[in-house]
Homo-oligomer: A and B are copies of this chain.
Amino acid sequence: LATNHGRGAKSDLQNAAQALGASVSAVEVAKFLDKKFQDLPSFQRAAFLVPSKGGLPGIDPALVRVDEECVYLVGNSLGLQPSRTRVLVSEELDKWAKWGVNGHFTGDRPWMPIDETVIQQSAAIVGAEKDEVAIMNSLTVNLHLLFVSFYRPEGSRNRIMYEASAFGSDYFAFESQARLHGLDPTKVLLPLNARTGEELLHTEDIVSAIQAAGDSLAVVCLGTVQYYTGQYFDVKAITEAAHAVGAMAIWDCAHAVGNVDLSLHEWGVDGACWCNYKYLNAGPGAIGGFFVHRKHLNKGLPLLAGWWGQKQAVRFNMEHSWDPEVDAGAWRLSNPPVLQTVSLLASLEIFSRTTMSELRGRSMLLTAYLELLIADLVGDQLSVITPECPSSRGCQLSLKFSEERSCLATFTALERRGIVVDHRKPNVIRVAPAPLYNSFHDVHKFCTALREALSEVAEPAAKRAKV
């Protein structure tokens, strides 16, 4: 499935329905697909705690069976909790209670090098070599650390290219990094705008903008999967275009990691950062991820230094001679946060049972199924702004409403039914079937509820129209 850029997914689904003698929107199809794929390693729902509808805020007890699992389609915001998280967190609390400070060097998972437990699997998920990854801090902190190393304006090469609709935090990072170098953000920030009347960026437009900027360009930094539209950029082509004009390519992988199958190393990406609370399921405010390509390692790049970036063997000598690790660990500043690290470990253990390419295959089918089921709801009131081409999107579809009011009302109507999705101002509902734990039946339930919600929302208007 992952071959063929996922373009076969829709017809596969239709063929399956035909073989069952059912319409593709029949619940039997969802059940059939779940049964067919439930034993594959890419489906790990049983390893997660799925909230019950009854416990959710905003539900209408008359509309839901309170003990039923909710339909959780918001792994793009906060992933579900692995059931092993509590076990691993508890083990660390036990160690602290039993050993005190000796936990730094004692036992199976000593704290001093505890981040080593999460490097290898993190690297596998982003398509990196082990020495290219550090797990530390949080996304925006890591983005700044990357800029300190890669954004080194010299003369007229000082521009930062970014999406005009970049996530706010990234924009503020760009702006403050420009100021850090005494530059005027309005002069050096170079936004990529969509064509008039369009939502998405065309790869060829990005590439020509890069070429046009030429040697004024210092850094290109985009969100790998756009948080609002769900567009998955062509990382390889854009990175190559940046390199061709002598610029660096930095990628914010917040919405990409654990969602699409990245190859940061192979694509020659210079630096990347991500958060682990979305598709990586490491919990609210989880520890961040950080990538520097091997070609930049051990080259004395400027960085913000701290004792933890030193080689382990000399780290505790307290000498004032900087002797950094030869890998991405050189960017580490502080001793690792233990509970945050094992919260990530609990999720990575689950990822280690499958591969990103298996997950991506499952994901393309799930999202194609979602797209098929809502096809007849799409029209003037509601459109899907996410790219149709499966290789240009991750699992998320962004539903755009023509009116903000009906967007919010639909969101609330879904909430009352125990459907958890998210609303982004002004008028988008994001729906993200996470391949690791969402089922075809989840998608089917969502679509049924969406249909109900839309007609509920339309009703008052229809009534008003009659008057």
**Within the complex, which residue of B72, B106, B111, B287 is in contact with A57, where a contact is CB–CB below 8 Å?**
B106
A97–B77 touching, CB < 8 Å:
no
Given contacts A57-B99, A343-B339, contact A176 B304 (CB under 8 A): yes
Q: Answer yes or no: A23 CB below 8 A from chain B CBs.
A: no
A100 touches B51 (CB 8 A): yes
Cβ A100 vs Cβ B85 within 8 A: no
| B77–A86 CB distance below 8 A | no
Quick check: is A89 within 8 A (CB to CB) of the other chain? yes
Q: Interface centre among A51, A341, A425, by most B CB within 10 Å? A: A51
Q: Does A26 contact B (CB under 8 A)?
A: no
Interface size on A, residues (CB 8 A): 90
The oligomer's copy count stands at 2
Q: Is the CB of A285 within 8 A of B340?
A: yes
A57-B106, A102-B57 given as contacts; is B286 within 8 A of A337 (CB)?
yes
Interface string of A56-92 (1 = CB under 8 A from B): 1110000000000010101001101100011001101
A107 (CB) vs chain B CBs: closest residue: B57
- B104, A317: Cβ atoms under 8 Å? no
A212 contacts chain B at the CB level, 8 A cutoff? no
In contact, A285 and B111 (Cβ under 8 angstroms): yes
- The reply to whether the CB of A302 lies closer than 8 angstroms to some CB of chain B is yes
Interface residues of A in 366-420 (CB under 8 A from B): 420
- CB interface residues, A 98-116, toward B, < 8 Å: 98-106, 111
Q: A285-B334, A302-B179 are in contact. Are A420 and B101 (CB under 8 A)?
A: yes
Determine the chain B residues whose CB is within 8 A of the CB of A131 once the complex forms: none
Considering the complex, give the chain B residue whose CB is closest to the CB of A286: B337
Asked if residues B172 and A306 are in contact (CB atoms below 8 Å), the reply is: yes
Are A99 and B56 in touch, CB under 8 angstroms? yes
What's the least CB distance linking A22 to chain B, in Å?
31
- In the complex, A308→B167 CA distance in Å? 12
Q: Which chain B positions have C-beta within 8 A of A176?
A: 302-305
Which of B285, B343, B420 meets A102, CB within 8 Å? B420
- Cβ contacts under 8 Å, A335 to chain B: 138, 284-285
Contacts of A21 in B (CB 8 A): none
**A165 nearest in chain B by CB position:** B318
- A307 near B: Cβ within 8 Å? yes
Stretch at the interface among A39-47, A140-148, A196-204, A244-252: A140-148
- Give the contacting residue for A339; candidates B144, B283, B422; CB below 8 A: B283
Pairs A-B, 9 closest by C-beta atoms: A138-B334, A285-B337, A169-B307, A140-B306, A172-B305, A78-B101, A140-B333, A176-B305, A284-B338
